[in-house]
Amino acid sequence: MNILIVDDHPLVYSGLRNILMSDDDIDETMQASDIKTGLELMKKYDFALALVDIKLKDESGIDFIIEAKAKYPSCKFVILSSSSAAGDFDSAMRANVDGYILKDAYPDDILYAVKSVIRGRKYFDSVFLEKMSNSRITTNPSINNNLLSPRETEILSCLGKGMSNKDIADKLFISENTVKKHVSRILAKLNFNDRTQAALFFSKVYDKEN
C-alpha cells in the first residue's frame, strides 16, 4: 500500500518515511508540500492513507482533506500535527478525519496508528480522549440511546469498572469468547481503539448521569 505525506517540512517527511518504510506492508511513501501537489499525486497514484499536517505554509491541511475526501473517498485521512489546540482538533473532527496523531508520538505509536486506521479503525492521540468523550456525552447523553444493546451496555459498565474478560464472563455467565465479541462490537460502534477508551467513556457518562 502507498501512503501520501502532506507536509511542507522535508525533515519531517524524511523521518516519517523511515518509520513507515520499516513495515513490510507499506510499499511506498510520497510527499506533497501543498494542496495542489497533493491532489495531483492522488490523481496519479492509489493511496491507502494520507498523513496531513494541519498547517501548510499559507494553506490549511483541513482544506486539502475536505477536497481530497470528496474526490477519493476510499483513502483514509489522518492529521499528523504538532498542534493539540482545541480549535485545530474541532476543525479536524468536522472534516471527519480518521485519526489525529501528534508529531511527538513515538515511532511505534505512529506505525500502530497508521495500520489501525488502514484496518478500518479510528485513532486519536491520548490527549484527545477526554475531549472525544465529552463530545459524545454532549451529543448522546444516554450510553444506550439505541446505539448499544442492553447486553453491550452491561459489558461496557463492566469495562468501566476495570474488569477483565474472564471477570465479565464469570459475572454474566457467558464464555470469554462471547465477551471478546461483545467488546469488539462496542469498540466498533463507539469508534474506539481499545477498552481503555471505552472505560473512560463509561466513567464520564456515569459520572454525568449520577
Whether residues 116 and 137 share a domain: the answer is: no
Which range scores top for mean pLDDT: 39-53, 83-97, 134-148?
39-53
Whether residues 173 and 70 share a domain: the answer is: no
Whether residues 150 and 94 share a domain: the answer is: no
Cell 493511496 belongs to 47
Whether residues 175 and 77 share a domain: the answer is: no
Whether residues 112 and 19 share a domain: the answer is: yes
- pLDDT score at 130: 56
Does residue 145 register a pLDDT over 50?
A: no
> Is residue 8 a contact partner of residue 36, using CB atoms and an 8 Å limit?
no
If one counts the domains in the chain, the total is 2
Domain end: 98, 124, 150, which one? Answer: 124
User: Closest by alpha carbon to 186, among 207, 202, 163, 169?
Assistant: 202
Give the pLDDT confidence of 180-206 residue by residue, as tens digits: 988 988 888 887 888 888 887 776 665
Whether residues 115 and 13 share a domain: the answer is: yes
Give the pLDDT confidence of 9-61 residue by residue, as tens digits: 989 999 999 999 998 889 999 999 999 999 999 999 999 999 999 999 889 99
Whether residues 20 and 106 share a domain: the answer is: yes
Whether residues 103 and 142 share a domain: the answer is: no
pTM for this prediction: 0.65
**What count of Cα atoms within 13 Å lies in the side-chain half-sphere of residue 103?**
17
> Is residue 6 a contact partner of residue 32, using CB atoms and an 8 Å limit?
yes
Q: Is 120 helix (H, G, I), strand (E, B) or coil?
A: coil
- pLDDT score at 67: 96
Q: What is residue 58's DSSP assignment?
A: T
Whether residues 101 and 187 share a domain: the answer is: no
Whether residues 95 and 137 share a domain: the answer is: no
Distance CA 169, CA 41 (A): 50
Whether residues 43 and 96 share a domain: the answer is: yes
Q: Where is pLDDT greater, at 59 or 148?
A: 59
Domain end: 124, 145, 173, which one? Answer: 124
* CATH classification at residue 58: 3.40.50.2300
Domain that holds residue 117: 2-124
Domain end: 124, 153, 184, which one? Answer: 124
Whether residues 117 and 142 share a domain: the answer is: no
